[in-house]
Structure 1
Amino acid sequence: MTEWSDWRAVAAATGPGDRVAAEEGVRLAYRSAGLAEPAHIVWARSPREAVRLLAGAADAAGSGTADAAGEGAAALPRATGRSVRERVRSRPWAAERDRLHARLGAAGWAAHWRGTGAGLWETTGSLVDRVRTAVVTELAAGDGHEETDVRLLLLDAVLGQHDAAWLCAFDTGPGTPLEGLAAVAREAGWWWPYEDVAVVCERPTELHRDEAGRLDRADGPALAHSDGFRLHAWHGLPVPAELLDELGSLTPERIRAEENAELRRVMLEHYGYDRYLEESGAVPLHRDDTGVLWRVHLPGDEDVVMVEVVNSTPEPDGTSRTYWLRVPPTTRTAREGVAWTFGLSADEYEPVRQT
């Protein structure tokens, strides 16, 4: 069984994979499901392009025309046949899960999952949700396709590298029913199996995450494909590209003027809460031997409340460093705020030495 770290690398891989190996994996997945190999394997540059191709083929069925997916896009044969995802992916998937559950028992399976797929589930799952939402938004709102049709096409997808969490937990070795699916996942992104055609996506060209595994980039797209499909995010929060362009020129006035509370928080994180307090006329509410409590009112959002704390241990150059700790809006004293950061009440907080 492939190591967890190997599947983590698969889930995060970018750039061109081995198309020959991916296509052989597709054919093997069909054969393992008892199906004839697809007559055609068509590559798309992103999930958006793949769904656009498939939606265009459906729209053009019976009209004798083909719907282009944009400059540089591949073309689909006129007939794709019905989706065979159930036989190619769902059935062997369920059979392998049932086999492991029967062999390991409920407790054993739970422990096995914790040691394998659970470590990849949250990051890959959240990324899949973001991609699906963006594809629906762009194709339904931008291209005019029916939203229901787009969502149904997305349900036909096998997730390729983003199925890493499950593939990590399963036996995908030579001769197993999931060998073909694993081979595709190692070299490609999402793919759509139909009776006569398989549409396979290239992996993204860029992927940027923060330490928690969330999409994150302040100076460009956090996820990008070669056809221009992009996702922008700041610590996992979806943001418009225009916001990233103005992060370097933010002012307290611009931050206060932002009506969207989530975007305002992005601005505050980037600008710095301490800097915002200093430049926006914040008034200290309370001070004691632990620090100074500050509060700034934000229209339509919870107040920004922070404790200014001076490190009692001097730096090597003799100076004392100042820290800013964001605390709940209900905080009434500096001691209460500092104690909250340790999970204590103000009465319980009695440090022997501050560092």
Structure 2
Amino acid sequence: MAAPTAAESRAAALGAVSAKWLAAGLSTARADRQAAAEAARLAYRSAGLPEPRHVVWFASPLAGARAAALLTGRRDLPGAAPDPAEEAIAAQLRGQGCPPVIGSAGASVRAAVRTAPWAAARAEAHDLLGPDGWAGLWAACGADVWRLVNDRIATPLRTHLRGELPVHARAVLLDAVGGQHDAGWLAAFDAAAPVPGAPPAAAGGTPAAGPVFTAGPVAAAWVSAAGSGGADAASGSASGIGAGPVGAGSGLGVGPGGAAPVFSAGPVGAVWANLGAGEAALHAVQRLAGLAGVARSSSWWWPYANVAILTDRPDTLHRDNIGRLHAADAPALHYSDGYALHAWRGMPIPSDLVDRLAHLTYRQIADERNAELRRVMLEHFGYDRYLREAGAHKVAQDECGILWRLNFADDEPLTMVEVINSTPEPDGTSRVYWLRVPPQTRTAREGVAWTFGLTEEEYRPLIQT
């Protein structure tokens, strides 16, 4: 077998970084609480902050948000009826040695722990690679992970959390750090991690206590840029970056004595070293090691001056074939304390709808006032069955099929083409398919053409399959 080309080696190395962080973002494994807590403390130190007096744990982001609301004072006004959920949170805080004193968390330090280090790391990587190089790195390592983790899991979760929290407590969601759901941008910075041996730098450039970076799978992937294309690399262009031998290692390593996990050395770090930047290079990326360590073993977390509130990863995650939260008869996302999110093809749905789906009638669907929920019910019930039972109107029929339409009072009409597969099944029958088409469709041919991105006049199939 021929040796892989430079481009193939580079793509494989960057793909490995992306896959590692996608796995972290989707993980339902039990958290390593000790490692995550140490990583959180490292994140504080790397930001130049004192470590929090307390690091406390809760089983879900909802419980973590409730704890943040209690400790920051974002809670019911004095004199309100006791909140059993808040009392349970207070009991858990006491059990972990953290007095549940209202307002005792101190100010949010999210900007110092997460926002500022992220911006500094991006600026350094951007300066090294230039706009095109940074865009290429993001496309190779971060974009897909961000889409599958942040867009399709974290965003629906945030929407659901807002609905679960009292209005006065929702502001704490602005204080949260994503943990494992920050996997997309952490993947890109992992690929930009510095060379081995450069200690993490604290604010002001002083090396912080903690682990050093270890050699990872892409340590030398772009090293040839410094030899043959160093001028391009130094000027910020990615065009001259080639691929050298793939380094040993496997993702986040551990520092001396088994300290918190950190980034592996990525391709950008190798370029810096060969350009003579040495251990001074990419200190901003190094300061993300604590955030990366938390993300490898926990879900959302809240950094405050006096308290860091960490939460466990989910114990159940169900997705459809394109990565959206989805489950027909169970929570799509579930945490060990019972907090759960039900979803149908990415859209959060009420938990009671799951039970109703198994016993739907077309009348219940017709009576549903929420158009989005009605669409979920329609997909589960089956469009063909609904059209039959609800009395849809036949609009047109031609050699391509039959066009059906059913009007709703508060939504666009349900318009579908019934088509028959011209290739018989093994038993001699022909399968019927239903294609949803735009409401303004006038003929079955026009509807079928639309599914191919064509006009009715352009649709001239030579063979029907």
TM norm structure 2: 0.70
1:163 to 164, 179, 182: 182
Match of 1:48, SS? helix
Deviations, residues 13-48 of structure 1 (Å, cap 9, x unaligned): 114211121112112212222223222210011122
> How many Å apart are 1:228 and its aligned residue?
2.5
Deviations, residues 268-308 of structure 1 (Å, cap 9, x unaligned): 10111111122222232211111111112222111111111
Aligned in 2, Cα 1:60/1:286: closer, same or farther, shift over 3 Å?
closer
Instruction: Name the amino acid aligned to 1:20.
Output: Q
Aligned in 2, Cα 1:323/1:131: closer, same or farther, shift over 3 Å?
closer
User: In the aligned structure 2, how far is the partner of 1:327 from the partner of 1:51?
Assistant: 43
User: How do 1:117-136 and structure 2 match up within 5 A?
Assistant: 117-126=142-151, 127-136=153-162
In the alignment, what sits opposite 1:205?
315
1:34 to 44, 48, 67: 48
User: In the aligned structure 2, how far is the partner of 1:97 from the partner of 1:157?
Assistant: 20
User: In the aligned structure 2, how far is the partner of 1:102 from the partner of 1:57?
Assistant: 40
Aligned in 2, Cα 1:71/1:310: closer, same or farther, shift over 3 Å?
farther
2:110 to 77, 82, 85: 85
Residues 1:184 and 2:294 aligned together: yes
> How many Å apart are 1:263 and its aligned residue?
0.9
User: In the aligned structure 2, how far is the partner of 1:193 from the partner of 1:353?
Assistant: 62
> How many Å apart are 1:58 and its aligned residue?
3.1
Report if aligned partners of 1:45, 1:73 keep a CA contact under 8 Å in 2.
no
Deviations, residues 50-86 of structure 1 (Å, cap 9, x unaligned): 121122223399x9xx953449733433433322222
Instruction: Name the amino acid aligned to 2:413.
Output: D
Match of 2:73, SS? helix
2:344 to 220, 226, 234: 234
In the alignment, what sits opposite 2:126?
101
Aligned in 2, Cα 1:60/1:115: closer, same or farther, shift over 3 Å?
closer
User: In the aligned structure 1, how far is the partner of 2:74 from the partner of 2:350?
Assistant: 33
Match of 1:203, SS? coil
Task: Give unpaired runs (5+ residues) of structure 1.
Answer: none
Report if aligned partners of 2:17, 2:187 keep a CA contact under 8 Å in 1.
yes
Deviates more, 1:277-286 or 1:112-121: 277-286
User: In the aligned structure 2, how far is the partner of 1:90 from the partner of 1:282?
Assistant: 54
Residues 1:10 and 2:24 aligned together: yes
Task: Give unpaired runs (5+ residues) of structure 2.
Answer: 1-13, 195-211, 214-285
Match of 1:265, SS? helix
Residues 1:140 and 2:166 aligned together: yes
Deviations, residues 144-180 of structure 1 (Å, cap 9, x unaligned): xx25xx31x2222221101101100003574421111
User: In the aligned structure 1, how far is the partner of 2:144 from the partner of 2:51?
Assistant: 34
**RMSD between aligned alpha carbons?**
2.3
User: In the aligned structure 2, how far is the partner of 1:318 from the partner of 1:194?
Assistant: 68
Aligned in 2, Cα 1:18/1:327: closer, same or farther, shift over 3 Å?
same
Residues 1:221 and 2:331 aligned together: yes
> How many Å apart are 1:125 and its aligned residue?
2.9
User: In the aligned structure 2, how far is the partner of 1:71 from the partner of 1:53?
Assistant: 8
Report if aligned partners of 1:339, 1:346 keep a CA contact under 8 Å in 2.
yes
Report if aligned partners of 1:274, 1:324 keep a CA contact under 8 Å in 2.
yes
Deviations, residues 249-284 of structure 1 (Å, cap 9, x unaligned): 111111111111111111110111111122222232
Residues 1:45 and 2:59 aligned together: yes
User: In the aligned structure 1, how far is the partner of 2:370 from the partner of 2:111?
Assistant: 41
Instruction: Name the amino acid aligned to 1:276.
Output: Y
Report if aligned partners of 1:308, 1:325 keep a CA contact under 8 Å in 2.
yes
Report if aligned partners of 2:67, 2:89 keep a CA contact under 8 Å in 1.
no
Deviations, residues 297-350 of structure 1 (Å, cap 9, x unaligned): 222111111111111111122221111111111111111111111111111111
